[in-house]
Structure 1
Amino acid sequence: MTANLYGIPTCDTVRKARKWLTDNGIDHQFIDVREDTPPKSQIDHWVASLGAAKMVNKRSTTWKNLSDTDRAEAESGDTTAVLLANPTLIKRPVLEYGDVLDVGFSVDAYTHYFQQ
């Protein structure tokens, strides 16, 4: 089974996750959300499964440049629409692997997910 890892290639956390997957021989596909934004249905699933608070990257430059209206919408309104319009707001990396859906990178978590 191939893992899907979503993010942007310049993100340090994404780089760490990609390196860990490669170093551990995990078959994976990297999807750059700026080049290939996930469809609305997929982002809806992420937000429904993990919650808006976990999916929105409030530390990003994009967040800091958003209007107050867009910030409010991202936090308690149509989070998916804001993430589709601003894919760099998606907290990263997003990992999809079988039943696993997670955001961020932790060696312990990835080790658990990919136990043989």
Structure 2
Amino acid sequence: MKFICYSKCTTCQKAKKWLDDRGISYELRDIKENNPSESELREWYNNSGLPIKRFFNTSGLLYKSMELKNKLPNMTDDEQIKLLASDGMLVKRPILVDGGNVLVGFKEKEYEELFK
């Protein structure tokens, strides 16, 4: 299982604590140091069943400064995946990848459901 996060992100810290408190082991990966590749993002997107927009960190400074709210609707999924792969700070986090299961962001209910 991979846990992709940004150490300064409070949501990531909450998710990490949730996993640690339950003794769930994972491979920790810092999204800023080791940005997801296009192929990883494509695989996670396909496995997640989520719209591609859910993979964007819409509250991030980079997202806002690039005015992506207006640009994304005119981009293909492939173009959006390439954009996400260009900078880890564009990617919503944390991302938890456990085989074919992919959780984006941290919602305690989703984590509980995955680890029943």
Cα offset for 1:30? 1.4
Stretches of structure 1 that go unaligned for 5 or more consecutive residues are none
The answer on whether the counterparts of 1:95 and 1:103 sit within 8 Å (CA) in structure 2 is: yes
**Cα distance change on mapping 1:107 and 1:41 into 2, 3 Å:** same
Work out the CA distance in 2 between the residues paired with 1:43 and 1:97. Answer: 14
Cα offset for 1:71? 5.7
Tell me, what secondary structure is at the counterpart of 1:15? helix
**Matched residue pairs, number?**
112
Structure 1 residue runs of 4 or more that deviate by more than 3 Å after TM superposition = none
TM-score by length of 1: 0.84
Tell me, what secondary structure is at the counterpart of 1:57? coil
- Residue 75 of structure 2 is matched in structure 1 by 76
Cα offset for 1:73? 4.7
The 5 Å alignment of 1:1-116 reads 3-48=1-46, 49=48, 50-67=50-67, 72-73=71-72, 76-77=75-76, 78-115=79-116
Q: Deviations over 1:24-50 (max 9, x none)?
A: 000111111111112210111233442
Tell me, what secondary structure is at the counterpart of 2:103? strand
Between stretches 11-20 and 48-57, larger displacement belongs to: 48-57
Aligned-pair identity (%): 28
Work out the CA distance in 2 between the residues paired with 1:74 and 1:81. Answer: 15
Cα offset for 1:74? 7.7
TM-score by length of 2: 0.84
Work out the CA distance in 1 between the residues paired with 2:110 and 2:24. Answer: 14
Between stretches 12-21 and 29-38, larger displacement belongs to: 29-38
Between stretches 48-57 and 12-21, larger displacement belongs to: 48-57
Cα offset for 1:75? 6.4
Work out the CA distance in 1 between the residues paired with 2:20 and 2:88. Answer: 25
Work out the CA distance in 2 between the residues paired with 1:28 and 1:15. Answer: 14
Work out the CA distance in 1 between the residues paired with 2:64 and 2:34. Answer: 23
**Cα distance change on mapping 1:89 and 1:66 into 2, 3 Å:** same
Stretches of structure 2 that go unaligned for 5 or more consecutive residues are none
